[in-house]
Amino acid sequence: MKQFIGIVLFAAILSGLSSCSGTSIRKPDNLISKDEFVKIMVDVYLIQGINLEAGKPDSLKKITQTDLYFSVLKKYDIPDTVFVRSLIYYSSFPKDYEKIHTQIMNILKEKEQQFKPTEKLNVKAE
């Protein structure tokens, strides 16, 4: 888990430094397409929500955050190095990355609307 967190922090720091210096990062050979990257990031945000849920069953308490991240990468058949390189590349272009992040948030809002109750429940205290 520490290794994965370290990789993500390294990616964030590297992208921050590259955006400040004005140098461009070379496009990785196995760059994940923007559409697939958005889907992966939506799943990453969803698993973060699962992991932060207070009342989760004991069976889920044994699963670490790293296990969940790697399960997303496995779902898309993406090696972690390819994901991290794609993350670094996309985040090195802040304006484009902001558009990607907006897409991610819009999809999450749509998913939230699917599970929101359409009418209020009328619960009476007895």
Domain ranges (residues) in the chain:
2-115
pLDDT at 47: 85
Going from the first residue of the chain to its last (126 residues), give the mean pLDDT of each consecutive group of 10, the final group possibly shorter. 56 56 76 96 87 62 80 94 94 93 94 78 63
Q: Match 């897409």 to its residue by tokens.
A: 103
pLDDT, position 84 = 93
User: Is the distance from CB of 11 to CB of 81 less than 8 angstroms?
Assistant: no
